[in-house]
């Protein structure tokens, strides 16, 4: 009897096209609303992750001295990687060259920056310029004005925008440095400084006072407001000369297969322990440098869960009420079917089949709306500033088939339940009562 019921269900969908259109529209719009919203939040999280891994040069795995993250979190004395640790890490990474795309060494320093007239505290980030550019990939050109370090020479620094203003440096012109994709345009933009060199004064590794006087090569975005007033980017060799020690703070390792980060980090740490070296390797999210990402993503996931619940509830209620109304208005039809000899179970199954066919088809229409919306958003080139980040982020919608399937099953289930409830009630009523229903 299943085949005749299917044919009748299909004809009923066509015959009652007004009801079908209303119910199908509710399902299609609900599907598109849920999937587009979920796709946007997934794309935002992925974008922030990629920005952190590439633009902030954290790569996939962070390698540091044992306890370095804990020391930074507790404002204790910093822990550095010395010559023996660096030699081991370099040898280990070379031996796993098939897994490692690039590695970048970084050294963090601090002190006072002065142009001869104004002085201010600074935080310096020294890194390997060429390797850093390779890791940064699409963010390799990071100079809002001037040139990035990998094109500027060894005796050069980049000042964060607000720090540049404090040291009496300013860009020439007010044209936006960003392209339509939200990335910096790779091209030198002129700037001027009252003093083309900046003097950096601080303590060496042995506690002595040291000073270097590099040339200002350009400006960059320091991210958060407080960092933008203090950050200086410099070549690793200059940072080591400033500290008068060959130490390194961290290694950032970009793996060809990011999914192997945990396994790679455990293996590196175990190999270091076997050599008696105090080295920790971990996915960057687990390090001190991933704290803000973990906190931000935790807040985003809570926000996503709350809003997804609201969107799902609204879409579910719309589908439920539409289907209940559509089936209830066909009570007389149910009475007619009962008078023709259809038993209660057959009538109920008929409406379940009808709701399943209608809602599944509507989900297909909703999928087309989702794909069209994602393509429209992706092709529009819309950018926006996300949270504390001053660099624009591209607006996009991630395509996630697993989410589509989950949403489709949810909406089909809602539609089937909404059809089953009134159909079962009408089928269990007396035939004369059902035929007299108005």
Q: Is the pLDDT of residue 221 over 60?
A: yes
Q: Which residues contact 195 (CB under 8 A, 6 or more apart)?
A: 115, 116, 117, 167, 168
Q: What is the pLDDT of residues 34-58, one digit of tens each?
A: 888 888 888 888 887 888 888 888 8
Domain range holding 160? 59-286
> In this structure, are 247 and 132 located in the same domain?
yes
> In this structure, are 306 and 410 located in the same domain?
yes
> In this structure, are 65 and 199 located in the same domain?
yes
Q: Is the pLDDT of residue 75 over 60?
A: no
Strand duo 100-114 + 191-193: pairing: unpaired
Give me the phi and psi of 275, to 5 degrees please.
-90, 0
Residue ending a domain, among 286, 321, 344, is 286
> In this structure, are 115 and 248 located in the same domain?
yes
Domain count within the chain: 2
* 164 within 8 A of 228, measured Cβ to Cβ: no
What is the average pLDDT across 242-256?
94
Q: Is the pLDDT of residue 335 over 70?
A: no
- Give the residue from 77, 50, 70 showing the smallest Cα distance to 280: 70
What is the average pLDDT across 8-35?
73
pLDDT at 381: 74
CA distance from start to end of the chain: 30
Q: Is the pLDDT of residue 1 over 50?
A: no
Task: Please give the Cα distance from 15 to 32 (Å, whole number).
Answer: 26
Q: What is the pLDDT of residues 174-209, one digit of tens each?
A: 888 888 777 888 999 999 999 999 999 999 988 899
Task: Please give the Cα distance from 206 to 331 (Å, whole number).
Answer: 89
Task: Please give the Cα distance from 301 to 318 (Å, whole number).
Answer: 25
> In this structure, are 219 and 71 located in the same domain?
yes
Task: Please give the Cα distance from 287 to 187 (Å, whole number).
Answer: 34
User: Three-state SS for 234?
Assistant: strand
> In this structure, are 65 and 214 located in the same domain?
yes
pLDDT at 165: 94
Residue predicted with more confidence, 218 or 312: 218
> In this structure, are 188 and 328 located in the same domain?
no
Q: What is the pLDDT of residues 78-109, one digit of tens each?
A: 789 999 999 999 999 999 989 999 999 999 99
The alpha carbon dihedral of 72, 75, 81, 85 has a sign of negative
> In this structure, are 202 and 322 located in the same domain?
no
> In this structure, are 306 and 277 located in the same domain?
no
What is the average pLDDT across 300-312?
73
Residue ending a domain, among 262, 286, 310, is 286
> In this structure, are 113 and 253 located in the same domain?
yes
> In this structure, are 95 and 122 located in the same domain?
yes
- Give the residue from 127, 108, 128, 123 showing the smallest Cα distance to 200: 123
Task: Please give the Cα distance from 210 to 37 (Å, whole number).
Answer: 54
Residue ending a domain, among 286, 309, 332, is 286
User: Three-state SS for 175?
Assistant: coil
Half-sphere exposure of 270 (CA within 13 A, CB side): 6
pTM for this structure?
0.72
């Amino acid at each position: 009897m299943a085949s005749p019921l299917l044919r009748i269900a299909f004809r009923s969908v066509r015959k009652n096209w007004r009801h079908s259109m209303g119910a199908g529209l509710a399902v299609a719009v609900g599907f598109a609303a849920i999937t587009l919203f979920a796709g946007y939040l997934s794309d935002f999280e992925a974008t922030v992750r990629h920005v952190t891994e590439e633009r902030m040069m954290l790569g996939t795995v962070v390698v540091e001295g044992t306890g370095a993250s804990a020391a930074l979190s507790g404002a204790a004395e910093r822990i550095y990687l010395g010559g023996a640790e660096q030699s081991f890490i370099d040898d280990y990474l070379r031996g796993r060259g098939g897994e490692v795309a690039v590695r970048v060494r970084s050294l963090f320093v601090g002190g006072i920056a002065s142009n001869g007239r104004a002085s201010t505290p600074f935080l310096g980030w020294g890194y390997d310029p060429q390797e850093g550019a390779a890791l940064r990939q699409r963010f390799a050109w990071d100079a809002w004005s001037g040139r990035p370090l990998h094109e500027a020479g060894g005796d050069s620094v980049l000042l964060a925008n607000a720090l540049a203003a404090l040291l009496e440096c300013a860009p020439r012109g007010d044209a936006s440095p960003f392209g339509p994709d939200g990335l910096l345009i790779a091209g030198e933009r002129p700037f001027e400084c009252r003093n083309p060199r900046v003097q950096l004064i601080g303590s060496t590794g042995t506690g002595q006072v040291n000073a270097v006087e590099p040339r200002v090569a350009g400006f960059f975005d320091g991210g958060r407001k407080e960092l933008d007033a203090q950050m200086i980017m410099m070549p690793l060799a200059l940072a080591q000369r400033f500290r008068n020690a060959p130490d390194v703070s961290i290694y950032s390792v970009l793996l060809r297969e990011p999914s192997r980060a945990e396994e790679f980090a455990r293996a590196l740490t175990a190999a270091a322990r076997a050599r008696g070296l105090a080295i920790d390797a971990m996915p960057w999210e687990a390090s001190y440098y991933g704290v803000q990402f973990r906190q931000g993503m935790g807040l985003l996931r809570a926000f996503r869960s709350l809003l997804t619940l609201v969107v799902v509830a609204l879409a579910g209620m719309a589908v439920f009420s539409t289907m209940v109304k559509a089936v209830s208005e066909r009570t007389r039809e149910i009475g007619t079917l009962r008078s023709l000899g259809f038993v209660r179970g057959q009538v109920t199954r008929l409406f379940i089949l009808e709701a399943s066919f209608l809602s599944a088809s509507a989900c297909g229409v909703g999928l087309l709306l989702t794909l069209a919306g994602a393509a429209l958003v992706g092709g529009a080139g819309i950018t926006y500033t996300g949270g504390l980040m001053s660099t624009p982020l591209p607006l996009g919608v991630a395509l996630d088939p697993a989410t589509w399937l989950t949403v489709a099953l949810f909406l089909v289930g809602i539609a089937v339940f909404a059809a089953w409830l009134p159909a079962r009630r009408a089928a269990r009523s007396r035939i004369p009562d059902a035929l007299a229903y108005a």
